[in-house]
């Protein structure tokens, strides 16, 4: 069995998370600096989290090592996972009909993808099932999509970007009204965003740089909220502090960037976010010294619990109850 990821010596180089259905509620994947992929999940919103599972615990075939990972739920609520190997070749695997089990890895160069630097996926509504965006080796933004589950994915095509803009980081989320919003960081660490006009339909122009007054950023992650709110986005600024912004209503106006300290343990270098099957959002952060921590809402659209450091670390976050 693959070694469990360490929270004291080896940081994750890539993390992602997704709502799941059927036998599971929400699941997290991480790739550590040994290029080993691991996952944990929760069967129900109130159940305990699983132990860590390694590469051999899901999927058949495929490479033994990866460098980057992303995930999206499809229209039928099955999950599809994509990962880049050490040659930047794209692989993919989908949940089987018995959710919680997996089919075979497909690749390399899944769907005839070129070699990629970064990948990002998101579920759609309307006439699309999901989309996958990639940043190629020339830092061009490309994408493909699936119209309905079981249908072939579209060919990769350039995605319209502002003139000469080269992206290095992406995140996407639904806005709790069926429309997807996409964000990208350019080479100057400036934030841009565009969104669907209708679920599964056309898109707006890109808005930016420094969308909604954002400072320069190192990493971003977004998730759909439930209740009376839309999407939320978290970001790591150049001081390794977490900041956030959220939509006041589904698909509505954005509030403002909260520059307050989220009390993340020892600063953050990587973040991922996802809601579970009951609409509770979970936020994961990798600290500068390698701790993987999780912070969860008390309920859909509500306040947050303290940080919890994973994998049995003895470190106590600053906002943890004593």
DSSP letter at 193 equals E
Q: What percent of the chain has pLDDT over 90?
A: 59
Determine, yes or no, domain membership for 275: yes
pLDDT at 99: 65
Q: What is the mean pLDDT of residues 270-293?
A: 91
Q: What is the mean pLDDT of residues 172-196?
A: 96
The CATH number of the domain holding residue 174 is 2.120.10.70
Determine, yes or no, domain membership for 163: yes
Confidence grade of residue 57 (pLDDT, cut at 50, 70, 90): confident
Gyration radius of the chain's alpha carbons: 18
Structural domains of the chain, count: 1
Determine, yes or no, domain membership for 79: yes
pLDDT in tens, 207-251: 999 999 999 999 999 999 988 889 999 999 999 999 999 999 999
* CA atoms in the 13 A half-sphere facing the CB of 267: 9
Determine, yes or no, domain membership for 2: no
pLDDT at 72: 96
Distance separating alpha carbons of residues 31 and 33, to the nearest angstrom = 7
Determine, yes or no, domain membership for 319: no
Q: What is the mean pLDDT of residues 103-109?
A: 95
Determine, yes or no, domain membership for 1: no
Distance separating alpha carbons of residues 303 and 295, to the nearest angstrom = 11
DSSP letter at 201 equals S
Range of the domain at 255: 12-309
Q: Which residue has the tokens 């994998």?
A: 311
Determine, yes or no, domain membership for 233: yes
């Amino acid at each position: 069995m693959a070694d469990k990821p360490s929270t004291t010596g080896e940081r994750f180089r890539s993390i992602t998370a997704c709502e799941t259905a059927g036998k599971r509620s929400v699941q997290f994947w991480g790739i550590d600096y040994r290029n080993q992929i691991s996952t944990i999940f929760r069967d129900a919103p109130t159940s305990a989290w699983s132990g860590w599972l390694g590469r051999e615990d899901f999927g058949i075939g495929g490479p033994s090592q990866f460098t980057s990972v992303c995930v999206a739920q499809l229209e039928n609520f099955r999950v599809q996972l994509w990962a880049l190997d050490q040659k930047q070749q794209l692989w993919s695997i989908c949940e089987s009909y018995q959710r919680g089990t997996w089919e075979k890895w497909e690749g390399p160069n899944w769907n005839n993808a070129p070699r990629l630097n970064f990948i990002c996926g998101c579920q759609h509504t309307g006439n699309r099932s999901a989309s996958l965006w990639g940043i190629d080796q020339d830092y061009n933004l490309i994408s493909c999509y699936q119209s309905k589950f079981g249908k072939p994915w579209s060919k990769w095509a350039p995605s319209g970007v502002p003139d000469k803009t080269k992206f290095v980081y992406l995140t996407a989320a639904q806005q709790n009204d069926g429309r997807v919003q996409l964000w990208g960081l350019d080479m100057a660490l400036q934030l841009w965003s565009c969104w669907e006009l209708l679920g599964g339909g056309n898109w707006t122009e890109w808005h930016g740089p420094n969308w909604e007054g954002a400072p320069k950023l190192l990493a971003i992650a977004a998730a759909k909220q439930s209740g009376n709110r839309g999407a939320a986005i978290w970001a790591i600024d150049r001081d390794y502090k977490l900041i956030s912004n959220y939509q006041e209503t589904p698909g509505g106006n954005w509030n403002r960037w909260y520059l307050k300290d989220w009390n993340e343990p020892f600063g953050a270098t990587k973040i991922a976010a996802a809601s579970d099957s009951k609409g509770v959002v979970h936020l994961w952060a990798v600290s500068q010294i390698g701790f993987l921590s999780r912070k969860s809402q008390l309920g859909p659209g509500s306040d947050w619990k303290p940080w919890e450091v994973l994998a049995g670390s003895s470190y106590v976050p600053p906002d943890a109850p004593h």
